[in-house]
């Protein structure tokens, strides 16, 4: 099998043909010629159903995920499609108590009123027993956002399958290079490609991959009916971004290691978590199931005011609520309603030079004081 870099650079591009562009342009159309009455329906006939620019990126991501990829207009549209296609009245949906907050809110606000019991489990908690009884779907998020806790995908998948539930894994922090949930036994992998997959902070996009053609068919139908379709231009930009995912991830992971190590030695900082650190509580399980690390870490300062002083003093860390981009960014998660300490910061290491980044972070922390 070829390496990650080669697959990122070449994935989804057509075979060489004289006169054809190396990088096909986005197909910006809502409608396609249908031919004359009686002609068979062409593969492409309407922009809400399919588009060649989608198929190119779906081919690249599907190959990385080890399944068939279905793109959506955002990570939440992807999660919403997974919930809609798997939830059944009277059968529970089980979600992480500490994962991406909107997935939980969506289930609680929109599925529970339709008679779908919604249960939550901490990512690092026990995913077996009564919580799985009568469940139709278990959604995991590992490493979790923002806590960077980890759970054992293969072990939970075995328990969930024995209980008759499907397993979906939100792979956003790990990325399609960092972890292959389908290989580990999951039925579905979802991702917010707004983050590292597109990688430049210029698009909102998501996808679901599955190996079972029945699930793939249901997702495609859900996309066409639900209408949460990606724009061809966003798709094209994400495909261009994917080409450098291997390079970006390598730099981001190296920077995350350097920043996490430096943060640990600073008196203003507590509770530094990055699964790649050998003595992180999540390291053993993460190292077993992840292929490589990424740039997302978290740490805690004394208060919300301390975080504000840190962000004000830093020249390289921008305050933004996304991650996986070229620039290092940080987000104080309590402001969004996550059940975390007010001083908890999720930091996304970017592609700056490690020495510059570490120097900047340490200088900003000194401005915070103790
Ligand atoms: C950002 C994020 C989402 C939502 O994705 P959008 O593209 O913003 O809709 C879902 N899950 C996780 C883990 C995320 O970080």
DSSP codes, 72-114: ESSHHHHHHHHHHHH-BTTBEEEEETTS-HHHHHHIIIIIGGG
- Whole-prediction pTM: 0.97
Residues 28 and 124 in one domain: yes
| Closest C-alpha residue for ligand 1 atom 11 | 100
- What DSSP string runs through 191-223? EETTTTTT-SS----EEEEES-HHHHHHHHHHH
Task: Assess whether pLDDT exceeds 80 at residue 1.
Answer: no
Nearest to 196 by CA among 100, 310, 75: 75
Confidence (pLDDT) at 363:
97
Question: Residue 279 above 70 pLDDT?
Answer: yes
Among candidate residues 4, 44, 170, 187, the one labeled active-site is 170
Same domain for 307 and 218: no
State how far the Cα of 153 lies from the Cα of 289, in Å rounded to an integer. Answer: 8
**Local confidence band at 283 (pLDDT 50, 70, 90 cut-offs):** very high
The CATH number of the domain holding residue 314 is 3.90.1150.10
- Asked whether residue 57 falls in the same domain as residue 162, the answer is yes
Q: Are the beta carbons of 219 and 69 closer than 8 angstroms? A: no
Residue closest via CA to ligand 1's atom 8 equals 75
Q: Which tens digits make up the pLDDT trace of 148-186?
A: 999 999 999 999 999 999 999 999 999 999 999 999 999
| Same domain (yes/no): 109, 227 | yes
Residue 73 has pLDDT above 70, yes or no: yes
112-142 tens-digit pLDDT: 999 999 999 999 999 999 999 999 999 999 9
The overall average pLDDT reported for the chain is 97
Q: For ligand 1, what atom is nearest to the CA of residue 195?
A: 1
Domain count, the chain: 2
Same domain as 119, residue 72: yes
CATH of the domain at 158: 3.40.640.10
Q: Provide the residue range defining the domain that includes 165.
A: 4-242
Kind plus residue range of the DSSP H or E element containing 188: strand 188-192
Nearest CA to ligand 1 atom 4: 75
Our answer to whether residue 98 is catalytic in this structure is no
- Dist CA 124 CA 126 (whole Å): 7
Across residues 29-33, what is the average pLDDT? 97
Choosing from 242, 270, 293, the residue where a domain stops is 242
Q: What pLDDT score does 232 carry?
A: 98
> Do residues 148 and 253 both lie within one domain?
no
- What average pLDDT score do residues 229-244 get? 98
Provide the percentage of residues in the chain whose pLDDT is more than 70. Answer: 100
Question: How far is residue 315's CA from residue 334's CA, in Å, rounded to a whole number?
Answer: 23
pLDDT tens across 7-21, in order?
999 999 999 999 999
Ligand 1 centroid from CA 210, angstroms: 18
The residue from 202, 221, 242 where one domain ends is 242
CB-defined site of ligand 1, < 6 Å: 74-76, 100, 141, 145, 170, 172, 192, 194-195, 204, 206
Contacts 24+ apart (CB under 8 A), 114-119: 114/87, 114/89, 115/89, 115/90, 116/87, 116/88, 116/89, 116/90, 116/91, 116/92, 117/90, 117/91, 117/92, 117/93, 118/92, 118/93, 119/92, 119/93, 119/94, 119/95
Q: Are residues 205 and 258 in the same domain?
A: no
Whether 95 and 118 map to the same domain: the answer is yes
Report d(CA 206, CA 100) in Å as an integer. 14
Q: Are residues 192 and 293 in the same domain?
A: no
Single residue among 242, 269, 288 that ends a domain in this structure: 242
pLDDT digits (tens, 9 = 90+) for 315-328: 999 999 999 999 99
Q: What is the mean pLDDT of residues 221-229?
A: 98
Mean pLDDT of 91-97: 98
Average pLDDT over residues 298-308: 97
pLDDT at 370 over 70: no
Say yes or no: 117 and 94 in one domain. yes
Distance 70 CA to ligand 1 centre (A): 16
Q: Give the confidence band of 92 by pLDDT, cuts at 50, 70, 90.
A: very high
């Amino acid at each position: 099998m070829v390496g990650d870099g080669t697959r990122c650079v070449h994935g989804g591009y057509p075979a060489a043909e004289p006169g054809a562009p190396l990088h096909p342009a986005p197909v910006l159309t809502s409608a396609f010629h249908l031919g004359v009455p009686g002609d068979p329906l062409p593969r492409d006939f309407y922009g809400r159903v399919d588009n060649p620019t989608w198929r190119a990126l779906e081919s690249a991501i599907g190959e990385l995920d080890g399944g068939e990829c279905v793109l959506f207009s955002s990570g939440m549209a992807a999660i919403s499609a997974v919930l809609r296609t798997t939830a059944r009245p009277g059968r529970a949906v089980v979600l992480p108590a500490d994962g991406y907050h909107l997935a939980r809110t969506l289930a609680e606000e929109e599925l529970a009123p339709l008679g779908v019991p919604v249960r939550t489990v901490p990512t690092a908690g026990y995913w077996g027993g009564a919580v799985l009884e009568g469940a139709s779907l278990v959604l995991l998020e590992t490493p979790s956002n923002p806590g960077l806790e980890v759970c054992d995908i293969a072990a939970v998948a075995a328990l969930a399958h024995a209980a008759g539930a499907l397993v979906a894994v939100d792979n956003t922090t790990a990325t399609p290079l960092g972890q292959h949930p389908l290989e580990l036994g999951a039925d579905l992998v979802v991702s917010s490609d707004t983050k590292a997959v597109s990688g430049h902070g210029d698009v909102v996009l998501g996808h679901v991959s599955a190996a079972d053609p029945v699930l793939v068919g249901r997702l495609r139908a859900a996309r066409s009916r639900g209408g949460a379709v990606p724009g061809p231009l966003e798709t094209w930009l994400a495909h261009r971004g994917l080409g450098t995912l291997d390079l970006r991830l390598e730099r981001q992971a190296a920077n995350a290691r350097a920043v996490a190590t430096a943060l640990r030695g600073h008196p203003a900082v507590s509770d530094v978590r990055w699964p790649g650190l050998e003595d992180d509580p999540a390291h053993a399980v993460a190292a077993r199931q992840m292929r490589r690390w990424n740039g997302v870490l978290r740490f805690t300062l004394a208060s919300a005011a301390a975080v504000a002083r840190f962000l004000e003093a830093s020249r390289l860390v921008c305050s933004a609520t996304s991650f996986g981009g070229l620039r290092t960014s940080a987000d104080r998660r309590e402001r969004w309603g996550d059940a975390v300490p007010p001083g908890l910061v999720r930091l996304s290491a970017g592609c700056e030079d490690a020495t510059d980044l570490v120097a900047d972070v340490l200088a900003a922390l000194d401005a915070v004081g103790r």
